[in-house]
Chain A
């Protein structure tokens, strides 16, 4: 199985901050990577797919980059509604796997 390691696991930030989350794959996955946001009690919501393509309806302050084994999710100018847990997911090969999550909390 392809392992995805996110860093950091926990991030404390303020409204207006720029935050970056990294996702590293145990082997190359081209651009078969998606990012999701999950709020407590809710299903994950797709933010980014193909490593850098913004899902329709997702604010442009979210962006993704990377290919191969290293990927980043950046949130520019953090808003109160962005405090949540973020997961990366690889769809290069089955079983599809997820990173362990990064919880973004209010400083």
Chain B
């Protein structure tokens, strides 16, 4: 049973760095078949893809966030993480980690974490 679980502070001050970790169980972040992804959803709004990390450290970020985002992987802990710098109230959202299945012709996101709410406020 594949499970993903987000963890991290629920409150971040403006201009600081948001840091979240996604712990994966039932699957290995070392697998070549998956991209490990972050997505966010502002309260009452739609979904925004943030970016992904591959087992070898390869990554791709949303251009709208690229200058502020870093996604990394820790294969020893079977985790991957998100850092978003210089946050503002606009970064307040439910943050999800998810697995993108790339081992097929047409990829998809098959497993998601439950999400963690991060509020940016002083």
The interface of chain A, by Cβ under 8 A from chain B, is: 1, 31-32, 34, 36, 42-46, 49-51, 53, 55, 87, 89, 91, 94-101
B106 touches A32 (CB 8 A): yes
B108 touches A44 (CB 8 A): no
Instruction: Knowing A32-B106, A32-B107 are in contact, say whether A98-B46 is a contact too (CB < 8 A).
Output: yes
Instruction: Knowing A87-B47, A95-B63, A101-B46 are in contact, say whether A46-B110 is a contact too (CB < 8 A).
Output: yes
Please name all residues of chain A whose beta carbon is closer than 8 Å to the beta carbon of B105 when the two chains form the complex.
50
Further pairs besides A43-B112, A50-B106, A91-B107: 10, Cβ < 8 Å:
A43-B114, A49-B107, A87-B47, A91-B108, A94-B49, A94-B62, A95-B51, A97-B49, A98-B47, A99-B46
Q: Count of A-B contacts with CB under 8 A?
A: 61
Instruction: Please pick, from A87, A94, A96, the residue contacting B46 in the complex, using a CB distance under 8 A.
Output: A87
Please name all residues of chain A whose beta carbon is closer than 8 Å to the beta carbon of B49 when the two chains form the complex.
94-98
CA distance A36 to B46 in the complex (A): 12
CA distance A101 to B51 in the complex (A): 20
CA distance A49 to B111 in the complex (A): 13
Please name all residues of chain A whose beta carbon is closer than 8 Å to the beta carbon of B112 when the two chains form the complex.
43-45
